[in-house]
Each structure stands twice: as C-alpha cells, then as structure tokens.
Amino acid sequence: MNNVVSLFDGLSCLQIALNRQGISYNNYFASEIDKHCIAITQKNYPNTIQVGDVRSLNLPMDIDLLVGGSPCQGFSLMGNQLNFDDPRSNLFFEYLSVLQDLKPKYFILENVKMGKPIQDAISKLIGVEPIEINSALFSGQNRRRLYWTNIPNVAQKLEASRSELGLIKGISLLSDNSYEMATVRKGNPRQIVRPATDKLPCLTASYYKGVNADGRPGKAKSFGDYEVGKIEMLSPVECERMQTVPEGYTEGVSKTQRYKMLGNGFTVDVIAFILSCIP
C-alpha cells in the first residue's frame, strides 16, 4: 500500500495489525490529539506522520486504506445514548467526510453495539451493513463491536473460521447472557469469572455486578489463578494481552493513561483478521 490513513488513531493499533498481517505501506497518516497516545505511537512507529485534529486535515488524495473508530460514548448502550447529539459521537461525520471526499480503496469503521435505528442510519450513510465481531474469538474478553467495511468476504471468512479461531486461541465463547467487556480504565473493578467450559479457559473483564457469571465454584486460569467472583485489578500488561497488543507496547506513560488508551483501542487481532481479507 502507498497511503494509509487512521482517524482517531489512538495508540496506533492499526499499524500493529498491518505489520502483524505482513501488509507493507509507504506512508501512515495518523489523526490524533491525545499527547500520551501520540508519544506511544511515535515511540513504537517513529515514521508515523501525525496530522493533528480530525476537524482540520490535510491528506493525500490517493488513499489505499482508511480506518477509524470515532468516539463511541454517545452510541453505547451503556451510556445515555445521545447518539449524534453527543459532541464526541458527532465526530463520526468527520470520518464520513473523508470517506466521501477522498474515496479510499478500502475502509473500516469500528464502533460499539448501539441501538438499531442509529446503526441503520450509519449504515445508510456509509453504504454497507456492519459485521459484528466479538473479541472473544481472538482474546480472553467479551467485547462486541461493529465493523463497517468494503473489504470483501469478511463475514464469510469469519463464519468459516469461527470454531478454528476459538480452538487456536484457546478461548471459550461466552453466552449472550454473560458479562460484557467494559472499557479498561483505572478504578473500575474487574471480576475474573469461570469460563463456560473447563477445557478452554477464558478471562473476562467486566464492570462488577455482584456475583460471578455462572455461580459455579472453582478457579479460572488465563494470565494467573483467580478465585471465582474475586474482584481483581488487571495490570497494564494483562490489558495489553486482552487487546492483543504486544506486551510493553504502552510503557512510557502513566498507568492511568495506559488503561485509558488500551480501553479505547482496537483489539489488534480482530483488525488483522479483517485486513487478511484484502484481495
């Protein structure tokens, strides 16, 4: 690829995914305003071209890949669901503007699970329906996200690879009634719960809701041994593992900032899987 553009680049999970998938690129343009994220990106990828605020961009006309996950707080079912009335989620239109004006060869838009009306509105504007992917296929967490993309055959390859992915990663897929992954931020309690099967251990991070997911005694093993129902604070390295970010990648800033950027970032292996479908 020649030009790759990442809007709301965060800690540059897209670059990790591109490199993990063996996709070369000449220029990587990152739109990010958080100084801590920029510092981590430049530490790991010093050739990154930082282009600043998404609302005032100067980008090349020929883009091979456009990727972004606009702030999700207004869309999230866990929030007030202000949707486009939330100024953070309103930044989606900046992504849409770049998509419509520069017409990249391939694009990916990531966001949280949301109400069906707003999901349909975004789909109509983007021109494709989203694919729901749970990070549990790729890591030890329940993290359901929507991915709008024009990369072909992603849904078909995902379905064909579903059981293989789970077996390769050693991840048990939890039921829809289990805990959901919460944003990884310092101060939120984490509960380590027993996996749905004794053969494929899984660590799930969540907001604490009082009891363990299935009520069974025993221990869950993933990054360590944890008593079922015991509240634990995950370390930054454990959060890196859950997001399939290389261990130590976010070192260099405070723990608070590491938790924040990891919680806001992509699950790298999910993006790498989508990129693997590029013809």
| Active site amino acids | 72
Are 68 and 95 a contacting pair, CB within 8 Å?
yes
Are 268 and 141 a contacting pair, CB within 8 Å?
no
Cβ neighbours, 10 Å, residue 132: 12
Are 3 and 29 a contacting pair, CB within 8 Å?
yes
Are 171 and 138 a contacting pair, CB within 8 Å?
yes
Rounded-to-10 torsion of CA 29, 33, 36, 40: 0
Nearest to 244 by CA among 152, 95, 133: 133
- Between the alpha carbon of residue 187 and those of residues 123, 179, 212, 256, 260, the distances in Å are 35, 18, 19, 9, 11
Are 246 and 265 a contacting pair, CB within 8 Å?
no
Cβ neighbours, 10 Å, residue 235: 14
Nearest to 252 by CA among 14, 41, 26: 41
CA pair distance 11, 32, nearest whole angstrom = 9
Tokens found for residue 143: 């993290």
- Three-state DSSP state, 79: coil
Cβ neighbours, 10 Å, residue 203: 23
